[in-house]
Each structure stands twice: as structure tokens, then as C-alpha cells.
Structure 1
């Protein structure tokens, strides 16, 4: 598990690379990680624009909008 300073670096790198990009495809490698139906998750996430990258503890949050 990455430490907090590493997560902050990942957040900043991702912000430079994918902020304001649209999610064109979704691949789910571990269904238990999302806790909802995989098809519903795909429909909800696909074609959303990532508006920011945030960090809460060791988790990265990717707020999106249509």
C-alpha cells in the first residue's frame, strides 16, 4: 500500500495527465472493489469527464460530470 506522500505525487501526476479527459472505456478487474453491478458501474462512469483529482487519505477520488 502506498504511503501518503506517494499518493499526493500520484494525485498530482494524474491531474496533469487525465484531468478534463473523458472516460472512453471501463475495465473492471476485480468486481468486489466496486460494490455495485459491473454493468451499472460501466454505464455510470463511461463518457463522464474527469473534472479533478482529489485525495482522501490513501484513496484517490476522481469527480466527474457529463
Structure 2
């Protein structure tokens, strides 16, 4: 994807509070989901997860939906 094709992103990193808000799960479950994504990607414990990696793991959400929920 070219840069001009991406909508404006407020940030690239997604946090447990964001995941909880988007999915409707508890913040603890959101932390576990992010840990699972890191594990699947071969990342270390404290490495950030991007919005795009979150969308790969949760294909039921679209980028537009996530951006609306984050604003």
C-alpha cells in the first residue's frame, strides 16, 4: 500500500485499553490477546503491537472501524 492510500492514522501502536474498547473484552483479556499476537509474530514481551498486526489477528474488524473506535 502506498502512503497516500492509507487514511490518516493518529498512531500506529495499539494498547490494551484500545483493544478492550474495540472488542468489548476486559483489559486483562486484551493484554492476553496482545501477548498472543506478539507470540505469533515472534516478538519479545514488551514489543509494541501495531494496528495492522491487530487487524491481521482480528479480521472481523476493519481499519475504518478501529480508527472510529480510537477517536
Q: Same fold (TM over 0.5)?
A: no
Bigger share in strand: 1
Bigger share in helix: 2
The structure with more radius of gyration: 1
More contact order relative to length (CA 8 Å, sep ≥ 6): 1
- What is the TM-score with the length of structure 1 in the denominator? 0.31
